[in-house]
Structure 1
């Protein structure tokens, strides 16, 4: 296992035959609770320098391919006036990555997103909406550009 950074080790569960490259940051950003909240299924790949900034949960399906530099964030800050934003908790919504999903380099996946089985997300995309199975998405913000046949 390469060097990883994990804030709460009991919050991370990694399946069999996974390949994790160096410099991955598993940051559980909530208060202590039973885990795991970051669940990676069998045969998945996670590239160098990925960050998982999770308060609620993320599930990564079997055989998922996540390229280098990707970011996953399942929460926001509040934006009410009169109180510094850094002290405000915002909405939290789980992230779900299906089986056999390919996420290109430097993709950002935000709270509440589900990516269906067999979907592809192009490098550099920012995903703010859920993606159906076998769809191909790209752009900022990400939009559907095709369908796997």
Structure 2
């Protein structure tokens, strides 16, 4: 285990006070100044930036090798998965395509609220002020100031800006 990975692991342990977790993550190369982190968060990507005033609830997964950029004042509910890696579809003998991994950045704008258990897929862009309903699966761009819900996520209503 590298020092960077050890710091990321330590930062999200229950013994570490919530308000101090971002400092350990910063030492591990994660840009997350003044961000609230609950325990159980998994960070499998040091190429992540989270804006000030944001909050990451329990058991959130940040996965992949492409950048994850999260704006200011974003609320991420428990058990949310933000994924930047996927596979090209291979032949019928091996659909996940051996050695055919691809990664695409995920961008989440300021003021977004992501409900519990939502999944954000590679290449997704969630524009400012959106609400992503619990359990939604985002694959693409969510226009600003809208409520998105479902599998796949679809715009349900426009929110006041």
TM-score bin (small chain): 0.7 to 0.9
Structure 1 or 2, whichever has the larger Rg, is 2
Higher relative contact order (Cα pairs below 8 Å, separated by 6+ residues): 1
Q: Which residue of 2 is the match for residue 15 of structure 1?
A: 33
Scaled by the length of structure 1, the TM-score of the pair is: 0.84
How many residues are aligned here?
A: 137
Conservation of the 8 A alpha-carbon contact between 1:128 and 1:142: yes
Q: Which residue of 2 is the match for residue 24 of structure 1?
A: 41
1:77-88 map, 5 Å = 77-81=87-91, 84=94, 85=96, 87-88=98-99
Is 1:55 paired with 2:28?
Answer: no
Gaps of 5+ in 2: 1-10, 14-20
Q: Deviations over 1:54-112 (max 9, x none)?
A: 21110010000000000011121122227743632333210000000000000000011
Is 1:134 paired with 2:152?
Answer: no
Q: Which residue of 1 is the match for residue 5 of structure 2?
A: none
Q: Tell me the C-alpha RMSD between the 2 structures.
A: 1.9
Q: Which residue of 2 is the match for residue 76 of structure 1?
A: 86
Q: Which residue of 1 is the match for residue 119 of structure 2?
A: 108
Gaps of 5+ in 1: 29-35
Conservation of the 8 A alpha-carbon contact between 1:42 and 1:63: yes
Answer 1 or 2: which has greater helix percent: 2
